[in-house]
Structure 1
Amino acid sequence: MSTTALPAPAPAPPRVETPFRRFVSEFCESKVALGALVVFTLIALAAIFAPWISPQDPYDLGVLDIMDGRLEPGSVGATGITHWLGTDDQGRDMLSGIIYGLRISLIVGAGSAIIACLVGASLGLLAAYAGGRTDGAIMRLVDLQLSFPAILAALMILAFLGKGVLNVVIALVIVEWAYYARTVRGTALVERRREYIEAAQCLALPTHRILFRHLLPNCLPPLIVVGTMQVARAIALEATLSFLGLGVPITEPSLGLLIANGYEYMLSGKYWISFYPGIALLITIVSINLVGDQLRDVLNPRLKK
């Protein structure tokens, strides 16, 4: 009795290596950067869902335990809330204050970075494409901006505008846009000599279309890297400004304010008021910088060490 062999299964089609898959694969080669991305994602989720996951609203005066819950290193308050990281001099839960403070840090950092990127990238593209006096005027303005220390310029601006989240964002945009402009201009000067730009000019396309539809996409890799680094820098600057008393008002949660509030109690042994917010700020900035370093290596392999 003869048996008929079954036909061999058809081979699986080869997996298509798309640019996105290649980017993810190269990014995940660094376990440190992948871990930093996970940490930052958890921080961002905690900040977004702060009203639902924090033990209390630290700025709701109705839930504060001012009489018996002040300066406790870790206890159960009169309201039944467990203060895992202790309380500050106003009886506010430190864990809740840190979670809410992260919201301000991320809003200020991301908001100022996005606006500064839009302003700086537009001016950088215009300078590289127009050249001549336009390029000279914009770059002299960039040089003037970069000649001032960022913290000093931000302090001067806030001394004029006053406290507030919006004013802090405006101050950080003013001190950050020049980095984006210089980065985009350097890349755009190379790209504007490519054949596709010459072809677009021969077709008499509008200038704004050439800038933002043809030139800008090819400037995105270095712009993404700079933007990531500037988010971390903006978070650090906001914390510094709030620590010095010129950032967000005392009615807004801020890591810088929490650190400043506990500074006078450090010598008396009540370290947790400043220590835990400082650790949260450090972890946030380091995680963003590690992600930015890996993005730099992936998007520009020539910079790999």
Structure 2
Amino acid sequence: MSTTTAGAPPAAVPPAARVETPFRRFVSEFAASRLALFGLVLFCIIVLVAVLAPWIAPQNPYDLAQLDIMDGRLEPGSVGGSGITYWLGTDDQGRDMLSGIMYGLRISLTVGAGSAILACLVGASLGMLAAYAGGRTDSLIMRLVDLQLSFPAILAALMILAFLGKGILNVVIALVVVEWAYYARTVRGSALVERRREYIEAAQCLALPTHRIIFRHLLPNCLPPLIVVGTMQVARAIALEATLSFLGLGVPITEPSLGLLIANGYEYMLSGKYWISFYPGIALLVTIVSINLVGDQLRDVLNPRLKK
């Protein structure tokens, strides 16, 4: 006999509990910081502008066919004879500064991200090899790391570029040489801890190949600190590339980055033509700050010991 009271509404069935996966937990913890979300959105906008520069820029400032010699030079903001509105003014060649910044972002982001990825591959591989092999291999690799870190990064990069010469590829090589040691030291520290875990001992007992143990079992558990360091190194690589280009040893003038745009207007600063260097400098600052905001929150989320 049913005990349900006549006319009473049926009991509500509780909704199924939402399963909290590691990815959902990561997203919720990352989204807890409004500054980090602001930095992520800002960086995504910067990347989108850089990727779409050939389609959204008012002109290609380095295509002579698109330049009008009748337009004003060193103008703070005007409408040119070709009908283009120079919102951020023009440089000493009469080129649109807004378009130059959009194209300069492409080079800066490409060099920064490309060098960081290559340095990560080299440094992470050597760091895991040092931690897993130990002995003389570990000592040799870490002495190379110590030697690399003993030189100021900008000085080492200048020496390499003085030998290799200008060029985007040469800048990437120089940045990889000065950055790989940070990844190697970080990965080695994490790998030394993970190497003593039971799952590594079990893999060794099963006589799995060394490369499989390193890349299938050891590397995935070293990713959190690697992601944090990688994010910070992208910002550092962009800043280093800008410094090298400002000093005249970075990218060529036919493919200018933000650093070279800043250098082009440096000699006009004293005469009041501030916008040639000012606006590219602001773009560089905003790019680096947005990456650092994301990196700071990633550090707090992926490293429980640093959580506030």
How would you bin the TM-score normalised by the shorter chain? Answer: over 0.9
1:143 aligns with 2:150: no
Say yes or no: does 1:166 pair with 2:178: no
* Structure 1 residues 141-200: Cα deviation after superposition (integer angstroms, max 9, x where no partner): 000011111011111111111111111111100100000000000010111011000000
Which of 65, 77, 87 is 1:62 aligned to?
A: 65
Map 1:77-92 → 2, pairs under 5 A: 77-92=80-95
Q: Percent sequence identity over matched residues?
A: 87
CA distance in 1 between counterparts of 2:144 and 2:283 reads 36
Partner residue, 1:183: 186
Q: Structure 1: how far apart are the matches of 2:187 and 2:215?
A: 12
Residue 292 (structure 1) shift: 0.3
Is it true that 1:236 corresponds to 2:215 in the alignment?
A: no
Give a deviation string over 1:258-277, Cα, whole Å, max 9, x none: 10000000011110000000
CA contact (8 A) 1:145 1:178 kept: yes
Q: CA deviation at 1:9?
A: 4.1
Structure 1, residues 4-49: CA drift from partner, whole Å, max 9, x if none? 4453442210111111111011011111111011100100100111
In structure 2, the residue matched to 1:299 is 302
Query: Displacement of 1:304 after TM fit?
Result: 2.8
Counterpart code for 1:17 = E
How far, CA to CA, are the matches of 1:6 and 1:304 in structure 2?
Answer: 47
Q: Equivalent residue for 2:98?
A: 95
Task: Kindly report which structure 2 residues correspond to 1:1-305, keeping only aligned pairs within 5 A, or say none.
Answer: 4-305=7-308
For 1:92, the aligned partner's letter is R
- The one-character-per-residue Cα deviations of 1:123-148 (angstroms, maximum 9, x if unpaired) are 00000000000000000000001111
How far, CA to CA, are the matches of 1:201 and 1:173 in structure 2?
33
Conserved 8 A contact 2:232-2:291: yes
Letter in 2 for 1:128: A
Q: Give the letter aligned to residue 111 of structure 2.
A: V
Secondary structure of 1:264 counterpart: helix
Q: Is the 8 A contact 1:85 1:276 kept in 2?
A: yes
TM-score, normalised to structure 2's length?
0.96
Q: Which amino acid aligns with 1:219?
A: C
Q: TM-score scaled to structure 1, two decimals?
A: 0.97
- Which runs of 5 or more residues in structure 2 are unaligned? none
Q: Taking structure 1 as reference, are residues 190 and 3 closer, same or farther at Cα in structure 2, changes over 3 Å only? A: closer
Structure 1 position 213, deviation (Å): 0.5
Q: Give the length in aligned residue pairs.
A: 304
Offset, 1:63? 1.7
Gaps of 5+ in 1: none
Q: Distance in 2 between matches of 1:23 and 1:180?
A: 23
Residues in 1 aligned to 2:72 and 2:19: alpha-carbon distance in whole angstroms? 60
4+ long deviations beyond 6 Å: none
Shift of 1:66: 3.3
Q: Is the 8 A contact 1:197 1:214 kept in 2?
A: yes
CA contact (8 A) 2:262 2:281 kept: yes
